[in-house]
Amino acid sequence: MKLFYTGPVVNAEMLVMMLEKHGIVATQNFVDVTLPDDGDLSRPAQVFVSESNYPRAHQLFYTEREDEL
């Protein structure tokens, strides 16, 4: 698994769902697993995708779309 995103858990959860809609399995973990899960939506989290799916995921979410210009 390769790190794809680090940021607030609220964004990480949405990203995992969006990746899954594109057929890319992703997992989410908290950056600091020792902290209690108190429902803080700004708590830092990480999203991981498989090495084989990383290029496609990166293209979907990080490359500029020429059709939007």
- SS3 sequence of the chain: CEEEEEEEHHHHHHHHHHHHHCCCCEEEEECCCCCCCCCCCCCEEEEEECCCCHHHHHHHHHCCCHHHC
Long-range contacts at 31-40 (CB < 8 A, ≥ 24 apart): 31/6, 40/9
CATH code assigned to 2-33+40-68: 3.30.70
Task: Enumerate the domain spans of the chain.
Answer: 2-33+40-68
Per residue in 26-46, pLDDT (tens digit) is 999 999 989 888 888 999 999
Which structure tokens are listed for 35? Answer: 């902290």
pLDDT recorded at residue 69: 52
Percent of the chain whose predicted confidence (pLDDT) is above 70:
93
